Structure 1
Amino acid sequence: MRRLLTLLLLLPGLALAADGIPPLPTDLGNADLPAMQRGFTAFQHYCAGCHSTHYQRYNQVATDLQLSEAQLQSSIMTDAKPFELMENAMSKKEAVRWFGMAPPDLTLVARVRGEAWLYRFLHGFYHDPKRPFGVNNLQYPYVAMPHVLQDLQGLAEPIYKTETVDGRSRQKVVGVGAAQGGQLSAEAYDRLVRDLVSYLAYTAEPMKQQRQHIGLWVMAFLLLFLFLAWMLKKEYWKDVH
């Protein structure tokens, strides 16, 4: 019985690992300050050239993430001022010429797509010579963007499965192999992905930590009010009962 329970607990992780993408970390998207700081730096260096987060301001992010002025200035990839919105470095006209469409703003992507989706997306690139940039994505097939972290992760080859449709056999991509040729180890790249997800989770809901902190005080007040209301009811009805 104990072995059966252990197997049932491990099944979700085994299912995710079967396609070559690491199982979802239990602390994915946690509000860990060092992780969000590293994620901000990584986002600015690898993502902000094409993607904006224009519902955020540089100085507010610096305040929330406790970044020094030097850290903030070194992370601004454009001529923007610290009080300005976080726009990308590429104009929409250039983006359409290069990619066929303007890359989306990523301020709310963690709420729209989910943190698990982002984690799998950043782990899901594989070699596909038929695509314009030579890569495809297991989580988001035919995505119209290059693998901007390829130098760090390396490039994975797809895992195929043969299936028969209408009497014809065809190859279907069901997973990705181990990435080769990257500057980072698999563990270091996974940490980078988790940092990016943590930062994007913050941008999607900057007030989350404060909201949760206030929520604890609200619950404490309601419990106290419930106790006082019960005592008052008991006092009013003592002569009736």
Structure 2
Amino acid sequence: MKKFLLALLFAPLIAFGSEGNVHLDKAPVNLEDYASLQRGARIFTNYCLSCHSAAAMRYSRLEDIGLSKDQIKDNLMFASDNVGDTMTISMSPDNAKAWFGAAPPDLSVEARARTPDWLYTYLRSFYLDDSRPTGWNNTVFEKVGMPHVLYTLQGEQVLKKSAAGAHDEQARPEFELVKPGKLSPAEYNAMVGDLVNYLTWMAEPAKATRQELGIVVLLFLGVFFVLAYYLKKEFWKDIH
């Protein structure tokens, strides 16, 4: 019975560890780079929001990264007319499951669930695979059901045979670009970096405000502690 309980306790950790046996590249996340966040928001609404929703995110929140209501309406809203609406999609979960085998996950907090490094590597690791229903596979998410929606930008790449079995952190998969896309490899990496930067911000839009407020609170408590200490000494000076 004890062994069974221990197995239940550590099962989530074992499962988490099994997903980490891949090489992950460092994502260029900078939540203070509003230009990058705005580019990422545009990429997200144009390429991701047709299948993935972000139900915990409102379009109006994009004002926090320097966009005006008119800019949001004119350039980023394709499924709604109200800036206060959440980023939902019209595709039903049943249709999504029928078309893709599983409903695409909501991306509101995907960066927190997967980590920015995972997303950055994943979006750059699709390769042609005739054995898959969509024609695509991914070294980070083996047998992925999602097609490579950004292939027109990245191009088509294949996994080199010498790295075909490399799905662990000891070997970094190598790809060969067989058909160039609209962007150069450097430009595509930069674009994915902007998208991941936005996804990271979207997962916790108030993070910067929360951190700033935390610093202010700690400073206040520090000053209050000094004042309280000397006030206590003054009240108790005749006793001590």
In structure 2, runs of 5+ residues without a counterpart are 1-21, 168-172
With normalisation by structure 2, the TM-score equals 0.79
Secondary structure of residue in 2 paired with 1:55: strand
CA–CA distance in structure 1, aligned partners of residues 186 and 238 of structure 2: 70
The Cα shift of 1:234 comes to 4.4
Secondary structure of residue in 2 paired with 1:157: strand
Partner of 1:177: 175
Partner of 1:232: 231
**Amino acid of the structure 1 residue aligned with 2:77:** I
CA–CA distance in structure 2, aligned partners of residues 193 and 97 of structure 1: 28
With normalisation by structure 1, the TM-score equals 0.78
The Cα shift of 1:90 comes to 2.5
Partner of 1:66: 66
Partner of 1:205: 204
Partner of 1:9: none
1:34 and 2:27 equivalent? no
The question of whether the paired residues in 2 share the 8 Å contact of 1:159 and 1:177 is answered with: yes
CA–CA distance in structure 2, aligned partners of residues 46 and 113 of structure 1: 19
The question of whether the paired residues in 2 share the 8 Å contact of 1:37 and 1:199 is answered with: yes
CA–CA distance in structure 1, aligned partners of residues 114 and 237 of structure 2: 56
Instruction: Return closer, same or farther for 1:95/1:233 CA change in 2, 3 Å cut-off.
Output: same
CA–CA distance in structure 2, aligned partners of residues 81 and 69 of structure 1: 10
Instruction: Return closer, same or farther for 1:204/1:101 CA change in 2, 3 Å cut-off.
Output: same
The Cα offsets for residues 102-133 of structure 1, whole Å up to 9 and x where unpaired, read as 11110011111111111111111112111111
The Cα offsets for residues 82-119 of structure 1, whole Å up to 9 and x where unpaired, read as 22221124232331221022111100111111111111
The Cα offsets for residues 181-218 of structure 1, whole Å up to 9 and x where unpaired, read as 11111221111111111111122111111101111111
Partner of 1:86: 87
In structure 1, runs of 5+ residues without a counterpart are 1-17, 163-170
CA–CA distance in structure 1, aligned partners of residues 130 and 36 of structure 2: 34
Moved more, 70-79 or 95-104: 70-79
Secondary structure of residue in 1 paired with 2:56: strand
Instruction: Return closer, same or farther for 1:71/1:152 CA change in 2, 3 Å cut-off.
Output: same
Partner of 1:50: 51
Secondary structure of residue in 1 paired with 2:227: helix
Instruction: Return closer, same or farther for 1:240/1:160 CA change in 2, 3 Å cut-off.
Output: farther
Matches within 5 A, 1:117-196: 117-161=118-162, 172-174=165-167, 175-179=173-177, 180-196=179-195
The Cα shift of 1:81 comes to 2.6
The question of whether the paired residues in 1 share the 8 Å contact of 2:63 and 2:69 is answered with: no
**Amino acid of the structure 2 residue aligned with 1:159:** K
Structure with greater strand percent:
1
1:96 and 2:97 equivalent? yes
**Amino acid of the structure 2 residue aligned with 1:226:** F
The question of whether the paired residues in 1 share the 8 Å contact of 2:154 and 2:182 is answered with: yes
The question of whether the paired residues in 1 share the 8 Å contact of 2:155 and 2:181 is answered with: yes
The Cα shift of 1:157 comes to 1.4
Matches within 5 A, 1:214-225: 214-225=213-224
Q: Across the two proteins, how many residue pairs are aligned to each other?
A: 212
